[in-house]
Amino acid sequence: MTALWLALGAVSLAALVGWIVDRISGAPLRDRSPLAWLTFITHGLAALTATAMHPLLGVVALAALVMWSRRSGTGLPEGTPSGPAIAVIAVVGVVITLQPPVPMAWDELVWLARARVGAEGPLALAARSLDPHGGLTPAGYPIGAGVLQAAFAGLDGDLTALTSGTSALVLFAVATFVLVLRRSTEIAWGPVALVVMGAPLMWVHLRTGMLDLPLGLFAAAFAMALLGAGRGDATLVRLAPALAVVMSGLKDEGAMYVVVIVLGCMGQGSLRRGLRAHAGLAVLVAVAVVGAWRARLMFAGVSAEHHAAAGFAVGALPDLLRELVRAASDLRDFGASLALVVAAMAMSLLTRRGDDAMASERALSLAWLACIGCTLLALVVGPDAVRSFATSGTLWPRFLVQLVPLGAIVVGARLGREAVPAHVAVPA
427 vs 398, which has greater pLDDT?
A: 398
For the chain, percent of residues with pLDDT exceeding 90: 55
**Per-residue confidence (pLDDT) for residue 418, from 0 to 100:** 42
Percentage with pLDDT > 70 across the chain: 92
Is the pLDDT confidence value at 320 over 60? yes
- For the ranges 121-125, 134-138, 170-174, 217-221, the lowest mean pLDDT is seen at 134-138
Q: Return d(Cα 147, Cα 83) in angstroms, integer.
A: 31
pLDDT at res. 408: 96
How far is residue 364's CA from residue 357's CA, in Å, rounded to a whole number?
11
> Which segments of 231-355 does DSSP mark as H helices, in order?
234-250, 252-267, 273-300, 317-328, 331-334, 337-350
If pLDDT is split at 50, 70 and 90, which confidence band does 208 have?
A: confident
pLDDT at position 81 is 73
Tell me: the pLDDT tens digits for 352-407?
666 667 778 888 999 999 999 999 998 998 888 888 888 888 899 999 999 999 99
Mean per-residue pLDDT for 82-103? 89
Provide the pLDDT for residue 140: 85
Residue 424's pLDDT is 37
H/E stretch holding 174 reads helix 159-183
Overall average pLDDT of the 267-288 stretch: 76
Q: What would the mean pLDDT of 132-141 be, rounded to a whole number?
A: 84
The whole-angstrom separation of Cα 251 and Cα 212 is 9
With residue 90 as reference, give the H or E element that holds it. helix 83-98
Question: How far is it, in rounded angstroms, from Cα 225 to Cα 221?
Answer: 6
Where on the phi/psi map is residue 312: left (φ > 0), alpha (ψ -120 to 50), or beta? beta
Whether the bond into 138 is cis, omega within 30 of 0: yes
Q: Which of 57-71, 95-109, 119-133 has the highest mean pLDDT?
A: 119-133
Q: pLDDT tens digit string along 43-89?
A: 999 999 999 999 999 998 998 888 888 877 776 665 667 888 999 99
Domain boundary assignment for the chain: 4-304
Which of 245-259, 308-322, 397-411 shows the lowest mean pLDDT across its residues?
308-322
Query: Which pLDDT band holds residue 138 (cuts at 50, 70, 90)?
Result: confident
pLDDT at 421: 43
Over 50: is that where the pLDDT of 119 sits? Answer: yes
Work out the end-to-end distance of the chain between its first and last CA atoms, rounded to an integer number of angstroms. Answer: 49
What pTM value is reported for the model? 0.94
Q: Which of 43-52, 185-194, 329-338 has the lowest average pLDDT?
A: 185-194
Phi and psi of 377, rounded to 5°? -60, -45
| Closest listed residue to residue 211, CA positions, set 285, 148, 278, 137 | 148
Number of H helices, E strands in the chain: 20, 0
Listed residue (144, 139, 213) closest to 176, CA to CA: 213
Helix, strand, or coil (residue 372): helix
Residues 6+ apart with CB under 8 A from 147: 48, 49, 52, 118, 122, 125, 249
2-51: pLDDT as tens digits:
999 999 999 999 999 999 999 998 888 888 889 999 999 999 999 999 99
Burial-class residue 381 by CB neighbours within 10 Å (0-12, 13-18, 19+): middle
The pLDDT assigned to 79 comes to 62
What per-residue confidence (pLDDT) applies to 245?
A: 95
